[in-house]
Amino acid sequence: MNKSAFHQLSYGVYVISTWDKGRATGCTANSAMQITSSPATIAVSINHDNYTNQCIQDTGKFAISILGEHSSPGIIGTFGFKSGKDCNKFDEVEHTVKGYLPVVSDACAYITCEVVDKMETSTHTVFLGRVLDADILKKDAPMTYSYYHNVIKGRSPKNAPTYIE
Ligand SMILES: Cc1cc2nc3c(=O)[nH]c(=O)nc-3n(C[C@H](O)[C@H](O)[C@H](O)COP(=O)(O)O)c2cc1C
């Protein structure tokens, strides 16, 4: 199998956020996709070892902050290479609460969801979310995963579904 074919799949770069007993937390993810428009439904794939997984299971809700090409790359590092188990990631990153959920202020748009179903794989949970709210935050081109790799020269850690050893 030529796994480099997987690199031809297109993604965006997002922060998936929720609450941990009243404390905002979340992780970077590339795996978010719209499943249907009516009722608006989005799926995200979150590793079992990511603290965010446990927090989404507990709250039954998550937000997707859609990062733009002009969003600070530091956000991707804070949310993608540290764990909310050990630190308060949102202390370093400006955010607002939209409806019930914390959203990164330096994102180009957000979508908030309520979990309506989930599917377990051996490593990741696919959460299916019914969209509660969505809006544009600022005018920017959404960051693609390819922009993250080729322009920002970013890496993907082990828990990202796209990780190849
Ligand atoms: C660019 C990028 C994409 C990522 N995509 C995902 C993803 O789709 N799903 C996932 O579970 N982890 C993904 N990760 C890894 C998590 O963000 C990372 O394991 C994080 O430290 C988990 O934090 P937590 O323990 O606070 O949840 C990605 C990381 C980066 C940098």
| Nearest ligand 1 atom to alpha carbon 84 | 26
pLDDT 10s digits, 28-70: 999 999 999 999 999 999 999 999 999 999 999 999 999 999 9
| Contacts of 32 by beta carbon, 8 Å cutoff, 6+ apart | 11, 12, 14, 16, 42, 43, 44, 64
pLDDT 10s digits, 104-142: 999 999 999 999 999 999 999 999 999 999 999 999 999
Q: Is the CB of 15 under 6 A from ligand 1?
A: no
Q: Is the whole model's pTM more than 0.95, yes or no?
A: yes
* All structural domains of the chain with their residue ranges: 11-150
| Nearest ligand 1 atom to alpha carbon 124 | 11
Q: Is the CB of 12 under 6 A from ligand 1?
A: no
- Report the CATH fold assignment for 11-150: Pnp Oxidase; Chain A (2.30.110)
pLDDT 10s digits, 69-107: 999 999 999 999 999 999 999 998 999 999 899 999 999
